[in-house]
A = this chain, B = another copy of it.
C-alpha cells in the first residue's frame, strides 16, 4: 500500500479531470430530507408535513403487490415498463409510445434537460419554482431565466413572453404549482400553448394533478410536439419512496429518452406497486377526499391563529404568516424544533408563507398544538 505521504503527492498529480462544466457546479442538494434533520436534532418528527408526501399511503393492493414482489427482486425489472405502459395508455386513451417511465419526475426532468440543453441554452421558469428542475438545468450548463410570480401564481403569459425574448428551449410550468398550491385553468394553458414560440417545449409538471379540479387539466393532444406532461405515483398514489414518474408526450420525443436514460433504473417492486395503484381508483378517490378534509383543517388551524391559508389545488397548503420572509422562517424553525416537519417557499414575497402538507388527523392535532407556540416564539424572536 502506498504511504500517506505518497498518496498526498499522488492526489495532486492524478486527480480525475472533471469536465469544465462540472468544475463550475456547486455540490448542492436540492432538498435536505427529514431524516437528515432528525439526525441533526437527535429526535424524530411528530408530524411529517414538509415534503408533500401522501401520508394516507398507497392502495392496500399496491402494498400487497410490492410485498409479494420482494422475493422476486433477484430479477431485473422490465426495462420497457411494458405492463405499466399498457395499463396507463388504456386509462389515458393514448398509445404506449406516448409514455416514458423513470425514476420519479426528478429523474425524467434530468433526462429531458439532457436531451435539449447544451451549454448556454436558455430555459425559462418561475423564480421560486421547483428547485430540482433548476438543478438539472444548471447541471447541464443551461442558463436559467426566471420570471416572478404574480399574485402567488406562476405568470404564464410572462413565462411565454420571456421564452420568446430569450429563445428558450424549455419553459417550465407546474400546474398545480408547488410551493404555492395555485393553479391555472386548462383553458388558460391550452391558449398559452398556442402562443409558444417555435422550438420551445413546455414542460407541464402535473405532479399534483390528481388533487386538482377537473377544469385545471388542459386538453392537449398527446402528439402535440410542443408539450410534455410529467406525472408521478409519488403524490396522489402515495408512493414517493418507490420512484415512479412518467412523461406523456409526442412519440418522437418520448422515444428520444431511450438514447440516454438508465434503462434499468427502476425498481421491480415499484413497477408492480404502481400498476396495482393505478387500478385502484376507489382508493385514489378516498385519498383525495382525506386530503381535501386535511386542507380544510389546515385552513381552520391557520385561521384560529390569525393566519390566512391560500387556496390550493395540491395536497398541501401555503399558509401566509402575515409578515415577511424572516418571520415565516422563524415560524418554520420553531415548528421544526417542536417536531413538525414543514418547508416554505424560497423567494419573496412567497416566502411570507410556510407550506404544510396534508396530514392525518393526528398530524394536524400536533400542528394545532404547536403552531401557537411557534408563532409566539417567532413573534418574540423577530421583534426582539
A contacts, CB < 8 Å to B: 1-2, 7, 10-11, 13-22, 25-31, 33, 35-36, 39, 48, 51, 53-58, 62-64, 66-67, 69-80, 82, 103-104, 106-107, 110, 114-118, 121, 132, 139, 169, 196, 198-201, 219, 221, 223-226, 234, 238-243, 250, 252-253, 255-256, 258-260, 262-270, 273
Contact = CB atoms under 8 A, between A and B. Distances in A.
A17 to B, nearest CB: 5
A15 B260 contact: no
Give how many copies assemble into the complex: 2
A54 B71 CA distance: 12
Contact of A260 (B22, B116, B240): B22
Contact of A116 (B17, B31, B103, B114): B17
9 contacts: A7-B223, A11-B252, A22-B259, A25-B259, A31-B264, A35-B80, A39-B82, A57-B73, A74-B238
A94 B14 CA distance: 21
Nearest to A250: B11
Contacts of A234: 76
B256 A13 contact: no
Contacts of A1: 219, 221
A126 to B, nearest CB: 20
B27 A255 contact: yes
A70 B80 contact: no
Contacts of A259: 22, 25-28, 139
A206 B198 CA distance: 47
A265 B103 contact: yes
A80 B258 contact: no
Contacts of A199: 14-17
A225 B11 contact: yes
Contacts of A258: 27-29
B273 A70 contact: yes
A263 B35 CA distance: 14
A280 to B, nearest CB: 14
A198 B15 CA distance: 8
A8 to B, nearest CB: 9
Contacts of A238: 73-74
